[in-house]
Amino acid sequence: MSAPAAGTGIHKPALGVAWMLTAAFFFAGSIAFVRYLSDFYSTYEIVLIRQVLGLLFMAPTIWSAGLGLLPERQLWTHVLRAALIYAAMWASYHSVTLITLADSMALQFTLPIWLGVFAVLFLGERPRWHRWLAVATGFIGALVIIRPGFAAFSLGMLVALAAAALYGAGDATSRYLARTHGTTALMFYGYVFQFPISVGLAAPTWSMPPLADWPILFAFGVVAFAAQWSLTRAYGLAEATLVGPVLFVRLPFVAALGYVLFGQVTDPWTWIGAALIFTGTTYSTRCEMRETRAAKRI
């Protein structure tokens, strides 16, 4: 019998997966922007630009909702979440400057494994066997993709793995806060608490971007904001151990963007790994939906 998402009374697996698929698409787009911008800006500057634009995009939502509607509970948990996600974002972006886009993305596919561990340890979730199967299958798929890369382990690979672990901790914290906070509050506090961190670290190397760069910087901000919004919605609708593995589908999105934008030809092993990832994620989702329908009939 499928239980509601821990602590929320809400468990909509199909909708949660749909939002996570949307997040995967936008995350792939944002990392493509990062790859392009890294030739002109430092990682600290890219993260700061993302945060400033995110706050601007949040402004109309906050204005219409009213600041009084934003909850003031668990502020230190929000601070922890913001710090974890900032560190994860920086590591993810920086890894792209050290290793190939495919290697970075594939190593970050270990995120659901970290998320599953944190969700069990700190959220009290009890993932069923088909979710662990999806995680294991997805990780095997990622290993197939970067099989040659493991011959020489580099600093970039370590940074990408660190990004996955930090994102796993941050996403588990998001899931915890989603029990009592709406998407608007989570997004607002995330940007507000990450902003001073971003400013402090980017200040030593900061220089105002030329006017010609602002259209692409704005597009980057839109895509990154949409990714974070979709991710937050997904964790508010379904358990972390279910929707987390869906982020594996960033791979074919990244492969397509890499080919169109950078002329990168995808290795056949990438598609073999992607097939494993899709198989595990699809099977887990089908099992979850069957259990949900069965529970409704009881």
Give the separation between CA 37 and CA 41, rounded to whole angstroms: 6
Structural domain boundaries of the chain? 13-297
Binned average pLDDT, 10 residues per bin, the chain of 298 residues: 44 85 91 91 92 83 62 77 93 88 78 77 74 78 66 75 91 84 77 90 91 93 88 80 76 80 74 77 72 64
Residue 2, pLDDT score = 36
Q: What is the DSSP string of 127-166?
A: --HHHHHHHHHHHHHHHHHTGGGGGS--HHHHHHHHHHHH
Give the separation between CA 109 and CA 241, rounded to whole angstroms: 14
Residue 73, pLDDT score = 67
Give the separation between CA 180 and CA 199, rounded to whole angstroms: 29
Note the Cα 186 to chain centre separation in Å. Answer: 14
Residue 242, pLDDT score = 76
Residue 256, pLDDT score = 80
Contact 127, 241 (CB under 8 A): yes
Residue 7: partners with Cβ closer than 8 Å, 6 or more residues away: 123, 176, 179
